[in-house]
């Protein structure tokens, strides 16, 4: 069912593996290429190729303080799924998945990733106080989907050729302050308003910042 499964495992490095076509029958939400659950924390997942698994990398059950770096992920559902807190997901190629990165937790860092050509979402967030920065979010159906997401910081991302944002009952921060700036939006051609925070009442938002 799983390519690599960690249970109550700490301080492990998973590196340079090809993990392919691991799947539940007929469908398992907790099945994937690399799965850490039941309190597996402080692990490092790096330089793996994860392809055609049910999920790519799935961190659940208190799998906090885990780092995912430089992985190539092409799965059937979520490329990377974070049901945890204080994890770092950086420099991964998350392409041609059903959806790219799912964040259901707090205080995670998602940076320097390519989230490209995912069928539904580049990134989906249900959580708070996460940092999403310096990512390329390109040619997904939606760039970002947010549901009950609060105080997440989006800065210096490239949002290109997506339906950019779907927002439900969420209020987040969309720049790093002047003069650092906000995000690049391919479909916004006006002057940057520098407003930074969207109100909760918006249900569907188009881009408004041109600064990086």
CA–CA gap between residue 90 and residue 68 (Å, rounded): 6
Which residues touch 26 (CB under 8 Å, ≥6 apart)?
Answer: none
Which residue in 67, 120, 74, 77 sits closest to 94, CA to CA? 74
pLDDT in tens for each of the 212 residues of the chain? 788 888 888 999 999 999 888 776 544 556 788 887 768 889 999 999 998 878 889 888 778 889 999 999 998 888 999 988 999 999 999 999 999 999 998 999 999 999 999 999 999 999 999 999 999 999 999 999 999 999 999 999 999 999 878 888 889 998 887 778 888 888 776 665 554 433 332 233 333 333 33
Phi-psi region at 121: left, alpha or beta (left = phi > 0; alpha = psi -120 to 50): beta
Which residues touch 139 (CB under 8 Å, ≥6 apart)?
Answer: 116, 117, 160, 161, 162
Q: What's the whole-model pTM score? A: 0.86
Phi-psi region at 15: left, alpha or beta (left = phi > 0; alpha = psi -120 to 50): beta
């Amino acid at each position: 069912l799983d390519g690599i499964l960690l249970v109550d495992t700490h301080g492990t490095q998973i590196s340079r593996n090809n993990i392919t076509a691991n799947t539940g029958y007929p469908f398992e939400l907790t099945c994937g290429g690399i799965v850490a659950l039941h309190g597996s924390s402080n692990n490092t997942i790096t330089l793996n190729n994860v392809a055609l698994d049910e999920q790519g990398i799935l961190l659940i059950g208190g799998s906090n303080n885990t780092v995912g770096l430089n992985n190539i992920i092409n799965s059937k559902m979520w490329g990377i799924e974070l049901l945890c807190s204080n994890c770092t997901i950086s420099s991964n190629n998350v392409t041609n998945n059903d959806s790219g990165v799912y964040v259901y937790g707090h205080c995670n860092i998602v940076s320097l990733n390519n989230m490209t050509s995912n069928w539904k979402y580049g990134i989906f967030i249900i959580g708070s106080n996460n940092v999403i920065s310096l990512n390329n979010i390109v040619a997904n159906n939606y760039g970002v989907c947010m549901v009950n997401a609060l105080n997440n910081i989006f800065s210096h991302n490239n949002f290109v050729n997506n339906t950019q944002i779907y927002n439900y009952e969420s209020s987040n921060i969309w720049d790093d302050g002047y003069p650092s700036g906000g995000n690049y939006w391919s479909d916004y051609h006006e002057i940057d308003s520098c407003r930074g925070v969207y109100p909760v009442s918006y249900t569907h938002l188009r881009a408004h910042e041109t600064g990086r």
